[in-house]
Structure formats: structure tokens, C-alpha cells
Amino acid sequence: MVLDIISAVLIFLGALLSLAAAVGLVRFGDLLSRMHASAKPQVLGLILVAVAIAIQFPTWATVSTLAIIISFQLVTIPVATHMVGRAGYRTKHLRRSMLYRDELAEAVDRAEARELAWERQRGIGTDHHDG
Amino acid sequence: MNQIVIDVLIVAGSVLLAASVIIALYRIVRGPSILDRMIGTDVVLASIMCGLGGYMALSDRTDLLPVLIVLAMLGFVGSVSVSRYVSKSDSMTPGAEAGALSDFSNSDWHMPRDGQGKATAEAASGSPAYSEVDEVTEIEDPTFDPHADAEGEGLGTGPDPGPDDAEDQGSGTSAKRGESNGP
């Protein structure tokens, strides 16, 4: 019975994290901030619920499957979040006034300078198209 | 007494999950860009996974564990594919977020210029400029890589099909036009 209560508390905490992510999704004003909010139930909420399931069914088959699920989430969620953030940076869906530091801008500057040098080396003028 | 505590916790958790799904649906409807909608969809999917896990834990349904795996994989594939094909012309819903995204200025951004090689080829063949190429591709010049490092590492996330497809389309139509103009 104590284990049932612990399991119910864990499920309740997972639901609370999910609600926190949804509230952050509405309250935050930026794509990157919303990404920051939305990653919580995907990892920690699912871990809490998986621990609740493992408490209820402490068999090897269940626990190993839950470990597979959690490790899969831990691997794939950063990748998906990185892809979303990269697309958001490319399509300007972020507020630059909310950034303390933009480390990617330096890389973009370097790439642009390299592209300019490459064009100059290739001998194609840019005036007739840019003007 | 213990059963009452468990019931209260379960009902409260269900209400929280339902509220989070509804709030995330609000963000999906209202979201200014498709990436915000994708994040809202991820939150909906996470809520579904939490609810399914709770249902499994409390009603002896361990046969639903593969469904949890499938849902995890679905969220990953959906996020990656949608963000992979978001283009520059993904217009945000105007006025959906008052004052939040209006203070952009183009000079803040380091966006690539138009591809000079393609432009000269089009000017030489006399074909009109393809305006729909800009809607498909996010970078016109295929050699431009804004995410490359100084060491010359290119795109680290796989092939970028947009510019190649656009270029293939452009060359194909210009070749056809040349053939028709020949005789």
C-alpha cells in the first residue's frame, strides 16, 4: 500500500511537470524559452512515471523495457531540440534582445567572410546582382 | 484512508494532464511559427506518454510498454522532420504575439545573399528568376553554410536537400526552354 502511494505520488509529479511545461509554453515569449520549458516532461516526467511503473511491476522484463524507453528519450530529445533550435535560429524565430550571448553569430560571420573570399577567388562580381 | 489518498492523487494528476494538453493545444493554435506548434505537439505527446504510463502503473497493463516506445520514437521523428524542412518563408501569424517579435531588424541578421552563380546562369539563358525557389530553400547558395566552423567542417546534420532540388529544377526547365527555342 505504501508502494501504491509512492507510485501515485510519482505519477502526480509527472503530471505536474507536464503542466509546468504547458504553462511555460504559453507564458514564455520566445521559441528558445519555450523549448527550455517543453523538455522537462519529456525527460524527467517520463522518468518519474517509469519509476512508478517499475515500483508496481518489479520484474526484469518491465524494468529493462523501461530502461530502453528512458535511454531512448535521453538520446533523442537533445537531438530533436537541437534541430528545432537550429531551424529557429535560421528562420529568425528568436528575440535577440533576450540573448545574453550569441556564440553562433561569430561562426556565421566567419562563414560569410569565407564565402566572400571564395567568390572573390572565383572571379565573379557581386555588384550587378546586389545592386 | 490510503485508498482515498491514492484516488485524490490520481484524479489530481489526471486533471493536471488534461489541463496541460489543453494549454499546449492553445499554443498549437496560436503559435506564431510552425516550430512553436511543433513544440506544443511535443508537450501534448509528453502528456500522453505520462498519462499512458500512469494508466499502465495503476491498472496492470504492462502490455502497453511497446506503445510507449512507439510514442517516444514518433515524437523524435516528428520534431526532426518538421524542423528539417522549415524554410525561410515560414511566415509567422501576424499579431499573434503582440510586441514580442516585432522588434526584429534585418541588419541584426547575417542572412546569405542570393546565389550569384545561379543568377548569372538564369540571366544568360534569359529565363525569368524563379521566385518559388526562395520559398523552398532556406539558403540559396549551396556552398554557403552558416553553421560551419572555421576549420571548414560542413553541414554536420546530413544532406541538405533544398538547394540541390531547387537547382535541379532550375537547370531542367532552362534546358527544356533551350530545346524548344532551338528549332
Same domain, B125 and B172: yes
CA B112/CA B104 separation, integer angstroms: 17
Number of independent structural domains in chain B: 2
CA A88/CA A4 separation, integer angstroms: 43
pTM over 0.90, yes/no: no
Which residue among B84, B106, B136 closes a domain? B84
Residue B130 has pLDDT above 60, yes or no: no
Which residue among B84, B100, B127 closes a domain? B84
Residue B1 has pLDDT above 90, yes or no: no
Task: Give the model's pLDDT for residue B179.
Answer: 41
Residues 3-62 of B with CB under 8 A from A: 5-6, 9-10, 12-14, 16-17, 19-24, 26-27, 32-33, 35-36, 38-40, 42-43, 46-47, 49-51, 53-54, 56-58, 62
The whole domain housing B166 covers 114-146+155-181
Q: Do A7 and B57 touch (CB under 8 A)?
A: yes
Mean pLDDT computed over B128-153: 47
Structural domain includes residue B164: yes
3-class DSSP state of B101: coil
C-alpha cell at B51: 498519462
Residue A28's nearest CA partner among A98, A105, A110 is: A98
Q: How confident is the model at residue B145 (pLDDT cuts 50, 70, 90)?
A: low
CA B141/CA A111 separation, integer angstroms: 12
**Which positions in chain B touch A9 (Cβ < 8 Å)?**
9
Structural domain includes residue B177: yes
Residue A28 has pLDDT above 70, yes or no: yes
Q: How confident is the model at residue B7 (pLDDT cuts 50, 70, 90)?
A: very high
Q: How confident is the model at residue B152 (pLDDT cuts 50, 70, 90)?
A: very low
Q: How confident is the model at residue B175 (pLDDT cuts 50, 70, 90)?
A: very low
Q: Do A108 and B6 touch (CB under 8 A)?
A: no
C-alpha cell at A113: 567572410
Residues 99-128 of A with CB under 8 A from B: 104-105, 107-112, 114-115, 118-119, 124, 126
CA B70/CA B109 separation, integer angstroms: 39
- Dump pLDDT digits (tens) for B100-117: 444 444 434 444 444 444
Task: Give the model's pLDDT for residue B11.
Answer: 94
Residues 6+ apart with CB under 8 A from B30: B93, B96
Same domain, B78 and B121: no
**Which positions in chain A touch B13 (Cβ < 8 Å)?**
8, 11-12, 14-16
CA B19/CA B68 separation, integer angstroms: 21
Residue A92 has pLDDT above 80, yes or no: no
Task: Give the model's pLDDT for residue A32.
Answer: 86
Same domain, B79 and B122: no
Residue B119 has pLDDT above 80, yes or no: no
Same domain, B60 and B17: yes
- Dump pLDDT digits (tens) for B46-67: 999 999 999 998 888 889 999 9
Same domain, B129 and B78: no
Structural domain includes residue B35: yes
Same domain, B120 and B80: no
**Which positions in chain A touch B47 (Cβ < 8 Å)?**
15, 18, 22, 41
Q: Do B50 and A92 touch (CB under 8 A)?
A: no
3-class DSSP state of B14: helix
Structural domain includes residue B130: yes
Q: Which of B36, B102, B145, B157 should be substituted to probe chain A, the one whose Cβ sees the most A Cβ atoms within 10 Å?
A: B36
Q: Do B46 and A45 touch (CB under 8 A)?
A: yes
Task: Give the model's pLDDT for residue B93.
Answer: 52
Task: Give the model's pLDDT for residue A9.
Answer: 93
Task: Give the model's pLDDT for residue A23.
Answer: 93
